[in-house]
Structure 1
Amino acid sequence: MRDLKPWLALIFKRPGRLVMGGALIMATLLSGIGLLAVSGWFITETALVGMLLAAGVAATINLYVPGGAIRFFAVSRTVFRYLERVYNHDTVLRLLTDIRVALFQSLASASRRHRRQLTGAEWLSRLTSDVDALDTLYLRLIAPTALAALVTALVVALTAALFDIKTATLVGLVLLVAFLIATIGTYLRTRHLAARQSDCQESLRTAVIEYIEGFAELTAAGRTGKHAAWLMRQAHQVTSEQAQADTLAGWHLAGSHLLINLSAVLTLWAGFALFRAGVVSGPVLVLLPIALLGLAEIYAMLPDAFGKLGATAASASRLNRDCQAEEPARDTGAQGLPANAALFATNLAVKHPGHAPLFTHFELEVNAGERVGILGYSGSGKSTLADVFSGLLPAAHGNLATRDLVYLTQKTVLFEDTLRANLLLGAPNASETELWRILEVVELADRFAPEPDQLDTWLGSSGSRLSGGEARRVALARVLLNPAPVVILDEPFTGLDAGTRARIAKRMDLLLEGKTVISLAHGPDALPGTDRVIHLPG
């Protein structure tokens, strides 16, 4: 359960919405119980008056008060149910936003080497099913459990008020056992099974995705049938374990409902003695057992929620493990920088896990305001070196210190959003004038000015509405907007012709004046202006 603590802390950062949502659920439940109880009381009162009249005894009944109460509870239950659904689903969406933001912040803090340990299918499982298991934690588990305990306490208090303390104590003990069976009992019986099932579902989901991705290769090898049969066996195992977990939850649900019915019987039995003593009336005698039976609706939500709690904890454990930030192995901050230096690397060793080092004993000092170009053939390690400079990849050995920097990676990454939103990632507070100015630098102002939405033009999935050169220039513009004093550009002019490249490079010289620039490319014609050039061995 410790794995849930950081996510619960995130959920409880919105206490106002949680309390309001819980109050709406509470109002809905109380309206339902009130409707059931008043209806039982009214039916009983009507029956008794009818029997007295049939026996020739004068009797009266007030039809308006109970009738009005029934109408009130029926309408309020419907209204509160609607408000609760709208409000709490909005709350869940807000909590989902909080969870995803926190998750991506953790991913951004983790090293690239750590993130590469998982396949794309496994990351898909983390970002969908594991997050989904957490985003409804409040609505499925926290709120129903708290409200079940609160309503139970209110019903016990009502028993003490209408009957006596002895009956209330007995009913409270029975309901306490029912509550523990529906919650902790269900969790203890199903936690290991639910956690194992969650792991099996993730493995099956990953295997299905990999099967689809590799279908052509499996077909060529003639193994689609065997692999599909293996997937079916795995799916059968998952469904079998699901059925087992559902069975256990069902038994606990039946046990809690049995005890709720027992509490109603005990209340009715104790009420007969009070009725004979003239302490309570016949309608009140019926009202309380019916109110107790109304608890079944509340308790019905608990076994299913606690039956899945083990799987939710397993999802949280995977997210905590795979998205945790790593402490940097070397100092990559500005402390330890020589005077007037922007980047300082000594005795640097660069390697990917499981591979031979690309560089050993690498030394580099870049002064503030200096323009350095790094040239090398494909596979010489330029991009890996840039990843180490930027802190995305930890150095295997040595020391590295840099000032704050911004990094244009070799791969162009654009989000499925507007041009404005993609640019503002580089400088969230940039004005519209600054955005147009940077578009002029990369020669995209004339491209988007005629668009109906201009800066709000939708770029499509990964910038699919743009050509490769246009997408690269948007990514470059985003980096140039950033105020960081050190700029690392890995192949900044990919997809651009020589004329466009030369014009943009000339404008960039003015824009980057005073900044430290480290550019990496295959040839000197793909570099912006430089003060010196370093050639990497081929």
Structure 2
Amino acid sequence: MKIFKLFKEDTWIKPFWGKYRKSLFLALVLGFLTFICGGALMFNSGYLISRSAAHPENILLVYVPIVLTRAFGIGRPVFRYLERLTSHNWVLKLTSELRLKLYHVIEKDAVFFKSKYQTGDILGLLAEDIGHLQNLYLRTIFPTVIAWLLYVFIILALGYFSLWFALVMLLLLGTLVFVFPLISMIVNGAKQERQKSLRNELYAGLTDNILGVSDWIFSQRGTEYNELHAAAQSELLKIKYEIQNNDHKRDFAVQLMFGILTIVLVVWTSSIFPGAHGGAANWIAAFVLSVFPLIDAFAPLGQAAQETNTYQDSLSRLNSLPKERDVEQKKDVKLTAPYEFKITRLNFHYADAQQLVLKDLNLTIKNGERLAILGRSGSGKSTLARLLRGDLQCSSGNLTLNGIPPAKLGDDICHYIGVIHQTPYLFHTTISNNLRVGNEAASAKQMWSVLERVGLKDLVSRMPDGLETIVDEAGLRFSGGERHRLALARILLQDVPIVILDEPTVSLDPLTEQDLIEMFVKQLEGKTLIWITHHLQGLSLMDKVIFIEDGRLTMSGSPQELAHTNQHYQRLLEIDHGILH
């Protein structure tokens, strides 16, 4: 079966089997003992009722069954509680580590993760796939293994009384344990796989369309938007009802099979324990009643089996993600000022493409230098920023910070480099928590100080709770310029020697853009400033300007030098000032 092959090649689930094997084994043993106690309780109860109805001469004749009934009656819920506690604890440990591993995978590849996956795919992984793997154990593996253990135990126990009847029960119970689950998996498995696929499509489609809902409305196509998802939802409900209908039929067949088992057991016990009352006849009720607790053990197997197709999809999706990469870290490496980037014959292409994004690049960025990197969209300037940050590694050539490749610094890179993106994100929490993203240990005094430096002190002080004011989701209560100022405040609290500005002002109006550029330059005085942009506004404040076109460095010099000597730069200035069209 496909799921066994997936488990064999799996790198997400298998590592935890060995790590938590004691808890896993204990959960299975407790589950087995739960059903043993349930069967033994009914067995003793049946014997006790039958024996008591025969008017025993002395209470001592039924004292042992009374004690056992009480013991098994207490044991069943106790073992059930301990089993649930152990199995759920095991599964929660598993899923928490899976979510942590998923976060690490996404975090390590965050710079190009969204180029491969939609937001809905991430939601599907978090909400559906991890949840399905949780159910894989609670609703499939644990019940199935426990049922198999009971199956073997029952056949061996019956073989003690009668070999031929043990063989009959081997076939009848085997139908419940193997045949019904197989049929259920064939009939409903494909439908459940389709159901999960539709849900994932809805996640992807809904998130995509919700993010662009304003465009749907402005284009007067709101009705079409609703109909688009109504059709998918209708198909999803149809499949759900078909699955439920098949489940009802299967459950009826399982109950019918248990009815047949009960009749067969009555016939068999009557043949080996003859008599209308007393003596051996007391065992008939004991054997017959012991069947009923087994319904809870064997009935869920069909449902468990049919969901394996869904789990296959979840395992496939998780194992198709990039491997969790351990970033090579230099031990005891502490970079000291002056900080200098050295780029020599750098070439870079993404793993899924052979075309070079950056070609034979040579560049030195000196300590404290203010460098502007110009280029059209897709020219490779943002890729260069990611290489400088250590998020990517060059395909060939060298890129070092004080002789060390940035990628080898691992998480320590945050002590040296800060980044302000085009759309800084503010979390749905307090302003103080948003600022402490730059420095967890920042005091209120430090936060007020940086807010004053970025021109937001008066704004925040007028808010209801000051620093403890809750920021709306994504920081929507702040304008674009204010969000960039808060992002700069984070960088000031972080106090790193190198700051990368990745087109932070591209969506702002010219006045706000100029104001922010001047503030960035003033507040980051003395730090190495690397500004990625395709605007020329504010370039006069830079020490050096380079131009990247089709991955190559085609222009380099000071703004003043280029404005007097480079025709290409002069033409760009004319276009930017509206002189040339």
Is the TM-score greater than 0.5? Answer: yes
Instruction: Indicate the residue corresponding to 2:424 in structure 1.
Output: 412
Whole-angstrom distance in 2 between the partners of 1:378 and 1:398: 24
How many residues get paired? 512
Identify if the C-alpha distance between structure 1 residues 509 and 165 changes in structure 2 by more than 3 Å, giving closer, same or farther.
farther
| Contact 1:350–1:388 (CA under 8 A) maintained in structure 2 | no
Correspondence list, 1:383-462, <5 A: 383-390=382-389, 392=391, 402-403=405-406, 404=409, 405=413, 406-408=417-419, 409-416=421-428, 461-462=473-474
Identify if the C-alpha distance between structure 1 residues 443 and 180 changes in structure 2 by more than 3 Å, giving closer, same or farther.
farther
| Contact 2:144–2:304 (CA under 8 A) maintained in structure 1 | no
Instruction: Indicate the residue corresponding to 1:192 in structure 2.
Output: 190
Q: CA deviation at 1:212?
A: 5.1
Find the partner of 1:33 among 24, 28, 39.
Answer: 39
Identify if the C-alpha distance between structure 1 residues 501 and 206 changes in structure 2 by more than 3 Å, giving closer, same or farther.
closer
Instruction: Indicate the residue corresponding to 1:132 in structure 2.
Output: 131
Instruction: Indicate the residue corresponding to 2:24 in structure 1.
Output: 18
| Contact 1:371–1:531 (CA under 8 A) maintained in structure 2 | yes
Work out whether 1:312 is the aligned partner of 2:311.
yes
Whole-angstrom distance in 1 between the partners of 2:222 and 2:478: 38
Whole-angstrom distance in 1 between the partners of 2:219 and 2:513: 43
| Contact 1:7–1:134 (CA under 8 A) maintained in structure 2 | no
Letter in 1 for 2:310: A
Q: CA deviation at 1:234?
A: 3.3
Letter in 1 for 2:115: R
User: Which secondary structure does the structure 1 equivalent of 2:372 belong to?
Assistant: strand
| Contact 2:273–2:283 (CA under 8 A) maintained in structure 1 | no
Identify if the C-alpha distance between structure 1 residues 60 and 89 changes in structure 2 by more than 3 Å, giving closer, same or farther.
closer
Letter in 1 for 2:363: L
Find the partner of 1:172 among 170, 173, 186.
Answer: 170
Instruction: Indicate the residue corresponding to 2:322 in structure 1.
Output: 324
Whole-angstrom distance in 2 between the partners of 1:26 and 1:527: 77
Find the partner of 2:271 among 270, 273, 296.
Answer: 273
Whole-angstrom distance in 2 between the partners of 1:436 and 1:156: 75
Whole-angstrom distance in 1 between the partners of 2:357 and 2:517: 30
User: Which secondary structure does the structure 2 equivalent of 1:136 belong to?
Assistant: helix
Which stretch of structure 1 is more off in the superposition, 99-108 or 76-85? 76-85
Instruction: Indicate the residue corresponding to 2:152 in structure 1.
Output: 153
| Contact 2:101–2:324 (CA under 8 A) maintained in structure 1 | no
Correspondence list, 1:213-224, <5 A: 217-218=215-216, 223-224=221-222
Identify if the C-alpha distance between structure 1 residues 391 and 226 changes in structure 2 by more than 3 Å, giving closer, same or farther.
same
Identify if the C-alpha distance between structure 1 residues 370 and 505 changes in structure 2 by more than 3 Å, giving closer, same or farther.
closer
| Contact 2:498–2:529 (CA under 8 A) maintained in structure 1 | yes
- For residues 83-140 of structure 1, give each alpha carbon's deviation from its aligned partner in whole angstroms, at most 9, with x where no partner exists: 5555544544433321211112222343644532333333333332233222322212
Q: CA deviation at 1:531?
A: 7.0
Identify if the C-alpha distance between structure 1 residues 302 and 216 changes in structure 2 by more than 3 Å, giving closer, same or farther.
same
Letter in 2 for 1:290: L
Identify if the C-alpha distance between structure 1 residues 134 and 420 changes in structure 2 by more than 3 Å, giving closer, same or farther.
farther
Correspondence list, 1:256-405, <5 A: 256-276=254-274, 281-321=280-320, 323-325=321-323, 342-346=341-345, 348=347, 362-366=361-365, 369=367, 371=369, 373-376=371-374, 382-390=381-389, 392=391, 402-403=405-406, 404=409, 405=413
Identify if the C-alpha distance between structure 1 residues 76 and 389 changes in structure 2 by more than 3 Å, giving closer, same or farther.
same
Instruction: Give the share of equivalent positions with the same residue, in percent.
Output: 23
- For residues 194-216 of structure 1, give each alpha carbon's deviation from its aligned partner in whole angstroms, at most 9, with x where no partner exists: 32332223224444555555555
User: Which secondary structure does the structure 2 equivalent of 1:281 belong to?
Assistant: helix
Q: CA deviation at 1:7?
A: 3.2
Identify if the C-alpha distance between structure 1 residues 441 and 248 changes in structure 2 by more than 3 Å, giving closer, same or farther.
same
User: Which secondary structure does the structure 1 equivalent of 2:291 belong to?
Assistant: helix
Whole-angstrom distance in 2 between the partners of 1:395 and 1:95: 36
| Contact 2:346–2:394 (CA under 8 A) maintained in structure 1 | no
Whole-angstrom distance in 1 between the partners of 2:244 and 2:82: 31
Q: TM-score, normalised by structure 1?
A: 0.72
| Contact 2:104–2:324 (CA under 8 A) maintained in structure 1 | no
Instruction: Indicate the residue corresponding to 1:9 in structure 2.
Output: 14
User: Which secondary structure does the structure 1 equivalent of 2:290 belong to?
Assistant: helix
Letter in 2 for 1:238: L
Instruction: Indicate the residue corresponding to 1:55 in structure 2.
Output: none
Which stretch of structure 1 is more off in the superposition, 113-122 or 415-424? 415-424
Which stretch of structure 1 is more off in the superposition, 481-490 or 166-175? 481-490
Q: CA deviation at 1:497?
A: 11
Whole-angstrom distance in 2 between the partners of 1:517 and 1:18: 54
Instruction: Indicate the residue corresponding to 2:179 in structure 1.
Output: 181
Instruction: Indicate the residue corresponding to 2:565 in structure 1.
Output: none
Gaps of 5+ in 1: 53-57, 334-339
Identify if the C-alpha distance between structure 1 residues 484 and 173 changes in structure 2 by more than 3 Å, giving closer, same or farther.
farther
Q: CA deviation at 1:15?
A: 3.0
User: Which secondary structure does the structure 1 equivalent of 2:364 belong to?
Assistant: strand
Q: CA deviation at 1:310?
A: 0.7
Letter in 1 for 2:193: A
Identify if the C-alpha distance between structure 1 residues 11 and 145 changes in structure 2 by more than 3 Å, giving closer, same or farther.
farther
User: Which secondary structure does the structure 2 equivalent of 1:6 belong to?
Assistant: coil
| Contact 2:451–2:457 (CA under 8 A) maintained in structure 1 | no
Whole-angstrom distance in 1 between the partners of 2:504 and 2:476: 19
Correspondence list, 1:460-499, <5 A: 461-462=473-474, 488-490=500-502
